[in-house]
Amino acid sequence: MSNPVHTDEQAKVVIATHNQHKFEELKSTLSDLPFEFLPLTNWWQKPVSETGKTFVENAVIKARYASQRAGIPAIADDSGLIVDLLNGKPGVHSSRFAGEHATDEENNNLLLERVKAKRKVNEPVKARFVAILVYLEHADDARPTIAEGSWQGSIIESPRGDSGFGYDPLFLPLDSDLTVAELGPSVKNRDSHRAKAARNLVQLLSDRLKDRS
């Protein structure tokens, strides 16, 4: 990443997730920010209800909740998989596509079942991962900093690879012969929707701080 944000001292920022995989991924992709990143589980074990109809709404809800609980600035992400063949599903319900407490395997199996019913022979199932990152200075921050990233690709017919989480074993990035779960974390942290959103967030936060000087 370029244009890292500089402050006089390293600030503590809570990352609003209870998913350890996502925490580590965000911590890595946001490493150019001079923040000490801490998981929400340090303060609170129960996640907030994601009642928004869009990725932006859910990310803001999670960031406000985390900042309120921790009493420090917060970064939240909301992300998901959009499959054109399924009219944009699973979308904002990606993590709970097969139910509120569904496992990755259950979500993947349901996705394959839905796609199989509509898949056309020899035609790729176009899809994209979308990520929204939101930064709030405090729980009542009326000016959230919002960054977006997307990753184009397609859905394959059966899972491949042992790395990553979520729909990674089914997602084949554009111009790649390997799924995200086969590419490994180094490539994912460079090319993914969250990585792109993170680069955008770094730039936006840099601009936000410059506005004050």
Identify the DSSP state of 50. -
Write the single-letter amino acid at 53.
Answer: K
What residues contact 32, with CB distance under 8 A and at least 6 apart?
1, 2, 3, 4, 5, 202
- Whether 177 sits among the annotated catalytic residues: the reply is no
Max CA separation in the chain (angstroms): 58
Of the residues 77, 78, 140, 175, only one is catalytic, namely 78
Given a contact cutoff of 8 angstroms between Cβ atoms, the answer to whether 164 and 188 are in contact is: yes
Write the single-letter amino acid at 207.
Answer: D
Classify 177 in phi/psi space as left (phi over 0), alpha (psi -120 to 50) or beta.
Answer: alpha
What residues contact 108, with CB distance under 8 A and at least 6 apart?
159, 167, 169, 170
Which residues are annotated as catalytic? 78
